[in-house]
Amino acid sequence: MKKAMLYTLVATLFVFSCKKDHSKDSNGTNPAGKIYKVELNVSGFTQTITNSTSKKVQGKGLKTDAVTGISGYLDQLYYYVFHSDGTFKLVHTLVQDSTSSNFGNISDSLSAGAYTIIIAAGKPGLTSSLSVRSPGTSYLTGTNYIFYKGGPFAQWKDTFYGQINITVTGDVNQDINLNRIVGQLEVDITDAIPATANSISITVDLDDLNFLLNSQTPTQAAKPTYTTTIPASAKGKTNYTFRNLIGNTATPFNVTIVCYDAAKKVLGTALVTNVTCQKNKRTILTGSLFGTNNNFTVSLNDTWNATPINIPF
């Protein structure tokens, strides 16, 4: 009876309140020794990490006002805690989604020591290779990355990442910034869209489908094609614009733009070389697609970030 009561008490000390949260410890229980409250205030989001035995902190869920043209609400969150003692062994994990009534409010408690905390958040389909790791597994073992499910060329959605190191000697209250890890590629077609046009596709000859957590860099090269159906309201009009999120924020790439009619006949095509994307910035390709002079210019502008940078092409 006493043993059962002890197990109940230990389990109560560390319980995530989200119905779809999954938390673990390197020992399968709470860390040994005194437990301290840890509060992380995520910049741009409403999120608090605190001791589950204290009063629950209410929030409005994950939301950012820095997003333009993309939903300001995120749907998936991954939270990981590792020992920072050189072993980088996994201590706690949490997976949370927006179906939870308290999405974005995370409760945690840690014993004294040094830790690395990782948080990744994004849209539906965001997946982490760390989710299959067992508690006690070293972060330095194998390849750790996040990506989106949905086939061999799953398209990036709005995604944020943050990592900090903390030393717990008492209760902790610290800010953590989640930064956007994707860039946005915008195509502006200046001439009129033909009445027979049905779709426009862009092929990126070097995109990256994964984001490495160890080095915080994109990886897994691919050559995806993204297709947009042209609405009837755009036909016959100029300055048609469409956008895609890009994972490759490190290496120049080429973009092929093609317009098709309903029978897949090519109505216009252009090749733009040496294009670059940066995290949290928008790369804009502007030019004529139909005609003899299909030259596009490239500029780096941003409604996400502040300073526009123009690059002649």
pLDDT at res. 255: 96
- Inter-residue contact 59 to 73 (CB < 8 Å): no
Mean pLDDT computed over every residue of the chain: 75
Q: How many CB atoms lie within 10 A of CB 279?
A: 18
Portion of the chain with pLDDT greater than 70, in percent: 68
pLDDT at res. 103: 63
Q: Is the pLDDT of residue 228 over 60?
A: yes
247 pLDDT band, cuts 50/70/90, is very high
Instruction: Tell me the domains of the chain and their CATH numbers.
Output: 2-180 (2.60.40), 183-311 (2.60.40)
Higher pLDDT residue, 47 or 34? 34
Give me the mean pLDDT over the 267-282 stretch.
Answer: 92
Angle among Cα 78, 141, 132 to the nearest 5 degrees reads: 40
Higher pLDDT residue, 275 or 8? 275
**What are 182's two structure tokens?**
């994707």
Beta strand pairing status for 207-212 and 172-177?
unpaired
- Rounded alpha-carbon distances, angstroms, from residue 218 to 24, 87, 96, 222: 28, 24, 24, 11
88 pLDDT band, cuts 50/70/90, is confident
Distance, CA of 123 to CA of 12 (rounded, Å)? 31
pLDDT at res. 303: 55
Digit-coded pLDDT (tens) for 106-138: 678 889 999 988 889 888 899 998 876 766 677
Q: Taking the CA of residue 120 as centre, how many other CA atoms within 13 Å lie in the half-sphere pointing to its CB?
A: 28
23 pLDDT band, cuts 50/70/90, is very low
- Inter-residue contact 237 to 192 (CB < 8 Å): yes
Distance, CA of 39 to CA of 274 (rounded, Å)? 44
pLDDT at res. 66: 37
294 pLDDT band, cuts 50/70/90, is confident
- Which residue is it, tokens 């020794």? 33
**What are 148's two structure tokens?**
């989106």
**What are 89's two structure tokens?**
């062994």
pLDDT at res. 72: 38
104 pLDDT band, cuts 50/70/90, is low
**What are 179's two structure tokens?**
């930064």
202 pLDDT band, cuts 50/70/90, is very high
Q: Is the pLDDT of residue 37 over 70?
A: yes
Q: Is the pLDDT of residue 24 over 80?
A: no
pLDDT at res. 153: 67
pLDDT at res. 105: 63
pLDDT at res. 227: 93
Distance, CA of 103 to CA of 97 (rounded, Å)? 6
From 11-15, 114-118, 229-233, the region with the lowest mean pLDDT: 11-15
Closest by CA to 226, choosing from 256, 266, 183, is 256
Give me the mean pLDDT over the 132-153 stretch.
Answer: 76
pLDDT at res. 248: 95
pLDDT at res. 70: 23
Digit-coded pLDDT (tens) for 168-185: 898 887 777 778 899 989
**What are 164's two structure tokens?**
């900090």
What are the residues whose beta carbons fall under 8 Å from the beta carbon of 207, sequence distance 6 or more? Answer: 221, 222, 223, 224, 246, 247, 248, 253
pLDDT at res. 60: 30
pLDDT at res. 10: 34
Instruction: Give the global pTM.
Output: 0.76
- Inter-residue contact 185 to 285 (CB < 8 Å): yes
